[in-house]
Structure 1
């Protein structure tokens, strides 16, 4: 009996190790270092160190786009770090910024995360390099991905529902789920709005065998959803657990906010 118990303990530890060292995000893989030079890590003070809290992405020389729910009450001492691959290792490519301005969309709804888009103005322009540069985002009139289209996202978010976090940037390819399905009562119901895209790696029909779940997760919020190299969405919200079949990741559709973005980023007239 003791030997049997020992065997069960060893098996449990082995399974836990597999979960804790899974490939990243939920599924996915480690990104090639600095292959996504637009990625931003929004970090909060944690004792003597800074800890990654949310993602973002560079859209102009002094501007980062993210999600409102990442900073709902203001910057509160948070910093933005660009040129990151490893959160813990010293990298000469890293550039750290204070937040000069934070613009949360005024119509953001905490109840369903509608209009979950925010703009951060850095305290100075970044120094452009192979590790730090802006990415193009889809504007009004552009074409958003259709159902089943492959899209990609990246971040330093949880590897699993136990909260394990990666040190290095992860990326994953997922597929757009139809808006009709995401509006079903067994998915998100009325919380899912026309400002949202949902996406995940779906089990092929008929789903009669185990498959590798792939999804964005906690800590990926604010990061980009890309289609053909252009950012079309912001990682926003999903289910309480990542990788659930009926709770795909939800992404804010950026092209719905062109006028608001332009109004915030427009140069202010100088005082005479």
Structure 2
């Protein structure tokens, strides 16, 4: 199986690093909810994954932006070949982002950030939002889910196109044994117990899609250990997401401080 470095493709001037193991190329534009985040912080650049949940809102991982004092974030939607200027691509600056107030870098608790775009994305066959799990929707052990992104091969050759890996939801006890700060209610234990497939560095922020719905956000794992990985559980944080979306909507009202 190929070792694929997810989200490590150099997109000048920014570069991100990561890998996915045992993945394959997806059919072009078959994951229209996928977002690529370019993060500019001073002279430093980085990238993360994300996903569109509303024409003007993207979800990602909090640690992508935490304490980076990012000067600007740009979201790229509708991309298959991230290195090409595809007509399908939409580059939209981010107006603001909100990190969960109880996010903690120790154990990556509540590892979620909501980004509001400066303008609404144009919804078409290549750019669409995805539904996400509500408070009473849970994904069970053994469910097969998908994680998508862009990357490099382990030999250093570029993989400009979107790649994807299929992973299974695992028993909570597996992650509780390995991660001291694992929380059952707010996290999902995921991976391939035979370590043939995995997410790794740089995958952060991408969605865990199960039955065409986003149930998790790529969060963290152990260095040099392919199995298991921890994802933020969206259903637990769904009330907070909707609260922030309502706040974004109020800002659009005439006369509000953030309205143009």
TM range (shorter): 0.7 to 0.9
Distance in 2 (alpha carbons) for counterparts of 1:240 and 1:158: 19
Q: Residues 249 and 112 from structure 1, CA distance in 2 versus in 1: closer, same or farther, beyond 3 angstroms?
A: same
Residue in structure 2 matching 1:61, options 51, 55, 62: 55
Name the counterpart of 1:14: none
Name the counterpart of 2:198: 215
Q: Over aligned residues, Cα RMSD in angstroms?
A: 2.7
Q: Residues 214 and 158 from structure 1, CA distance in 2 versus in 1: closer, same or farther, beyond 3 angstroms?
A: farther
Does the CA-based 8 Å contact 2:167-2:197 persist in structure 1? Answer: yes
Name the counterpart of 1:88: 83
Distance in 1 (alpha carbons) for counterparts of 2:75 and 2:133: 23
Specify every segment of 5 or more residues in structure 1 that has no aligned partner in the other structure, as ranges: 1-17, 204-211
Higher strand share: 2
Name the counterpart of 1:169: 162
Deviation at residue 263 of structure 1 after TM alignment: 1.1
Is 1:154 the counterpart of 2:148 in the alignment? yes
Q: How many residues are matched?
A: 237
Higher helix share: 1
Name the counterpart of 2:35: 40
Does the CA-based 8 Å contact 2:175-2:230 persist in structure 1? Answer: no
Provide Cα deviations, 1:159-184, integer angstroms capped at 9, x if missing partner.
55x88763211111111111012111
3-state SS, counterpart of residue 198 of structure 2: coil
Is 1:71 the counterpart of 2:71 in the alignment? no
The TM-score with structure 1 as length reference comes to: 0.79
Distance in 2 (alpha carbons) for counterparts of 1:46 and 1:168: 26
Does the CA-based 8 Å contact 2:4-2:23 persist in structure 1? Answer: no
Name the counterpart of 1:262: 242
Residue in structure 1 matching 2:192, options 175, 193, 201: 201
Residue in structure 1 matching 2:130, options 121, 135, 158: 135
Which consecutive aligned stretches of 4+ in structure 1 deviate over 6 angstroms post-superposition?
Answer: 162-165
Distance in 1 (alpha carbons) for counterparts of 2:42 and 2:158: 18
The TM-score with structure 2 as length reference comes to: 0.83
Is 1:224 the counterpart of 2:207 in the alignment? yes
Provide Cα deviations, 1:201-245, integer angstroms capped at 9, x if missing partner.
222xxxxxxxx6111122211000011110000011111136x23
Report which of the two structures shows the higher radius of gyration computed on alpha carbons. 1
Name the counterpart of 2:171: 178
